[in-house]
Amino acid sequence: MNNLLLDTHILIWSLTKSDELTVEVKEAIKLAKADKSLYLSSISLWEIAMLAQKQRISVYRRIADFLQTIEKIRGLNILQITANIAAESVTLPGDIHGDPADRIIIASCREISATLITRDQQILDWANLGHMKTLRG
């Protein structure tokens, strides 16, 4: 199976509102977890902490505990930001997001030749230009 990388909102939906996800996406996530080819960029942990701080998502425990629970999900690999990923994030081809977290997620995905599961239309449009593989979440 190919590597799959989850955009931050896809991870949140998979944990809290799975009805947002298509059957195809749920199955792809399940297979990738079983195959240990499911990834999350470490920047997504920061994004989740920011969303909780801004009260855009509700977590019913300390945010650090919630993030540690995510880190312990069996079959989910947390991809750290490496020198290559950092460099790639600022040299992405074409016209893409100015959002640094999205750029790091995209660069992370490209670094491991993964398919990004996202519903971010800007990323989907950019990917359709041949820059990376995506699956609409």
* pTM assigned to the model: 0.94
For tokens 């947390």, name the residue.
Answer: 78
Instruction: Classify domain 4-136 at the CATH topology level.
Output: Rossmann fold (3.40.50)
Q: Specify the 3-state DSSP secondary structure of 56.
A: coil
Q: Considering just the CA atoms, what is the radius of gyration of the chain in Å?
A: 14
- Tell me, rounded to whole angstroms, the distance of Cα 51 from its chain centroid: 15
pLDDT category, 63, cuts 50, 70, 90?
very high
Per-residue pLDDT tens over the stretch 77-99: 999 999 999 999 999 999 887 89
Q: What is the pLDDT of residue 95?
A: 86
Q: What is the share, in percent, of the chain residues with pLDDT greater than 70?
A: 99
Helical (H) or strand (E) element with 3: none
- How far apart (Å, rounded) are the C-alpha atoms in residues 23 and 78? 24
- Band of residue 35 on the pLDDT scale cut at 50, 70, 90: very high
Strand partners, 20: none
**What spatial distance separates the first Cα and last Cα of the chain, rounded to whole Å?**
18
